[in-house]
Amino acid sequence: MAMIEFSGGKFPVGSIPGELPEPAAPPELPVQEPAAYAGAARIIRIIDAALEQIRPDIEKAAAKYGREKIGVCFGSCDNGAEASLASHRALFAQGAFPENYSLRFQSASYPAEYIAGKFGLSGPVLAIATACASGASAIIRGAELVRAGMCGAVIAGGADIVSQAVFAGFHSLDAISDSLANPFSKNRKGINLGEGAAFFLLDSEENSAVELLGAGESADAYHMTAPITDGAGPAKAMRAALVDAGLTPEQIGYVNLHGTGTAFNDKAEALAMKAVFDEMPPSSSTKPVTGHTLGAAGALEAAICWMVLTEKKGLPVHCWDGVRDEEIPLLPITEAAGKTSAICMSNSFAFGGCNVSLILGGR
């Protein structure tokens, strides 16, 4: 975690250290746009750095199915805040927007189009916006495209950055902690923001080491930002994922909790876990390590579950001060670094009551 200064205080942020490389190749976007933007935008650089790691798999799928049968499902909360802030600073200082600026850079679909253009893909391209569940929602939409036969493979995941606009928004909600996030503790004070990207290549035929066994979604429609207090929405998503996977709660070996460290979210999630599991499985929130990466979080935390299943180095330890909140029902946050799991659940519960639960298993 790095410390950044904002509004007279310093706050921990899960930022990517060092200089991010420029995109490896100029994107072939559907319309002509200044290539300089893609090379300079932080969110595009983060996306590009993540995608380069799975380029061989993407190229293999494109050769097998054809580039018209490879789709993109991208989730994010960003919506061009980075481009908007930079261009408006130039407008205020110089009286005009930069010459290489286009309003399309602020479109929620721009990064998704960039991904398709980067690999010359002409399959379905979807931009997903379900707040902090966006990355997980994108994985579900991608799986649906594959199962429906519309795509042979889909690049699915999410990315986000810590822009000043996002930081200011969460700060105005009193949701930002000035110390390391402390999920489920009586002393919790809020979230640490983070940035990152995670992508999966969902393939209809590839016999990979990890399978998406099931997924569930629900919508509270309870409040714009606060979760429904009894945890009913998150519990519904978890139960739906179990039904989709054909599993019982007892078969889940590890749960990556949404675990933001805010008062209301943690309590609602604890109630949901109690409603679904008679006996709590090993569980932890990894956000004190990564920060809350917003639209990327659902995909990033699914990737952490992927690492649990493939690397078999143990379960992620829950980082907190160990001070239990009496108002939170019994939720054993297990420090289980020596244990392993064959089936993992990853939960993402977002603004507007957008709840997603993914279940991944090793083959």
Residue-wise pLDDT tens digits, 119-138: 999 999 999 999 999 999 99
Q: Which residue has the higher pLDDT, 58 or 341?
A: 58
Q: What is the pLDDT of residues 345-360, one digit of tens each?
A: 999 999 989 999 999 9
Return the minimum-mean-pLDDT range out of 54-68, 87-101, 230-244.
87-101
What confidence score (pLDDT) does residue 342 get? 92
Q: Where are the beta strands (DSSP E) in 40-150?
A: 70-75, 125-128
What confidence score (pLDDT) does residue 221 get? 86
Q: How confident is the model at residue 259 (pLDDT cuts 50, 70, 90)?
A: very high
Contact 272, 109 (CB under 8 A): no
Q: Which CATH architecture has domain 2-179+195-203?
A: 3-Layer(aba) Sandwich (3.40)
What confidence score (pLDDT) does residue 223 get? 87
Q: How confident is the model at residue 29 (pLDDT cuts 50, 70, 90)?
A: low
pLDDT at 202 over 60: yes
pLDDT at 117 over 80: yes
Q: What is the rounded CA–CA span in Å between residue 4 and residue 22?
A: 24
What is 210-362's CATH superfamily? Thiolase/Chalcone synthase (3.40.47.10)
Query: Which residues carry out catalysis?
Result: 132, 258, 292
pLDDT at 32 over 60: no
Q: How confident is the model at residue 295 (pLDDT cuts 50, 70, 90)?
A: very high
* Helix, strand, or coil (residue 170): helix
When pLDDT is averaged across residues 218-233 and rounded to a whole number, the result is 90
Percent of the chain's residues with pLDDT above 70: 95
When pLDDT is averaged across residues 255-271 and rounded to a whole number, the result is 94
Contact 362, 341 (CB under 8 A): no
Q: Tell me the backbone φ, ψ of residue 125, rounded to 5 degrees.
A: -125, 115
From-to residues of CATH 3.40.47.10 in the chain: 2-179+195-203, 210-362
- CA neighbor of 66 nearest in space, from 117, 123, 113: 123
What confidence score (pLDDT) does residue 167 get? 86
pLDDT at 337 over 60: no
Highest mean pLDDT among 94-108, 148-162, 313-327: 148-162
**What's the mean per-residue pLDDT of the chain?**
90
Give the global pTM.
0.94
pLDDT at 93 over 60: yes
